[in-house]
């Protein structure tokens, strides 16, 4: 039985190409853990500063950034569809009638960047650099993301989707599954 378990571990967890990095992203999206806890655990498994730990952390960061970019594009697309539909019905002051659409938020961000004061961090970078939450007995991760969705609007959508999915299923080949008939 131990040999069978070891084979399954090697198949699903030891081979970096077979790892489902969403499981690691789950850990990172828990504000009590973030990337520090994952790095700690990987160092315990593979040894401090191992190449495998570094590669896994790099892939987890890429996965999280990829999810963030996907949801960012999705939200921007939904936002532009909503504003396109309502733009014809709003009253536009005379000084904006030049035909150019004005987005004060984007323009202000560009203005700040030109002055060297731009905010260049993404939500992911801000989330990961913020302090971790205290470990308490009753902590609801999804509630934390709902409360913090104003600060992290896109990342909270990522968290809702990633944390809401089941993390495992019982494999049909498992000796623990018995068919009662």
Look-up: residue for tokens 């990522």? 158
Query: In this structure, is residue 89 part of a structural domain?
Result: no
Tell me, what's the pLDDT at 101? 62
Query: In this structure, is residue 151 part of a structural domain?
Result: yes
Tell me, what's the pLDDT at 8? 81
Query: In this structure, is residue 180 part of a structural domain?
Result: no
What is the span of the domain harbouring residue 48?
A: 2-74+103-163
The DSSP H or E segment spanning 72 is: helix 51-87
Query: In this structure, is residue 91 part of a structural domain?
Result: no
8-12, 128-132, 136-140, 171-175: segment of lowest average pLDDT: 171-175
pTM more than 0.75: no
Residue in 152, 124, 22, 25 with CA at minimum distance from that of residue 65: 124
DSSP 17: G
Other Cβ atoms less than 10 A from the Cβ of 128: the count is: 17
Query: In this structure, is residue 175 part of a structural domain?
Result: no
Query: In this structure, is residue 157 part of a structural domain?
Result: yes
Query: In this structure, is residue 82 part of a structural domain?
Result: no
Tell me, what's the pLDDT at 165? 78
CB 32 within 8 A of CB 133: yes
| Residue 145 predicted with pLDDT over 90 | yes
Q: Count structural domains, the chain.
A: 1
Query: In this structure, is residue 123 part of a structural domain?
Result: yes
What's the pLDDT tens digit per position in 33-89? 999 999 999 999 889 889 999 999 999 999 999 999 999 998 888 877 776 655 444
What's the pLDDT tens digit per position in 75-107? 888 877 776 655 444 444 443 444 556 667 777
pLDDT exceeding 90 applies to what percent of the chain? 42
Give the pLDDT band (50/70/90) at residue 23: confident
């Amino acid at each position: 039985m131990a040999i069978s378990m070891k084979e399954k571990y090697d198949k699903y967890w030891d081979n970096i190409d077979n790892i489902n990095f969403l499981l690691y992203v789950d850990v990172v999206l828990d504000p009590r853990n973030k990337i520090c806890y994952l790095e700690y655990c990987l160092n315990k498994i593979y040894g401090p500063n191992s190449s495998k730990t570094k590669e896994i952390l790099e892939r987890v960061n890429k996965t999280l950034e990829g999810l963030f970019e996907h949801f960012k594009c999705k939200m921007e697309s939904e936002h532009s569809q909503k504003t396109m539909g309502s733009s014809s019905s709003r009253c536009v002051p005379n000084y904006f009638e030049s035909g150019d659409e004005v987005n004060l938020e984007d323009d202000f961000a560009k203005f700040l960047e030109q002055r060297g004061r731009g905010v260049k961090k993404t939500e992911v970078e801000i989330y990961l650099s913020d302090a971790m939450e205290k470990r308490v007995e009753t902590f609801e991760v999804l509630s934390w993301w709902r409360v913090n969705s104003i600060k992290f609007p896109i990342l909270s959508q990522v968290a809702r989707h990633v944390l809401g999915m089941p993390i495992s299923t019982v494999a049909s080949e498992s000796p623990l599954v018995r068919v009662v008939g």
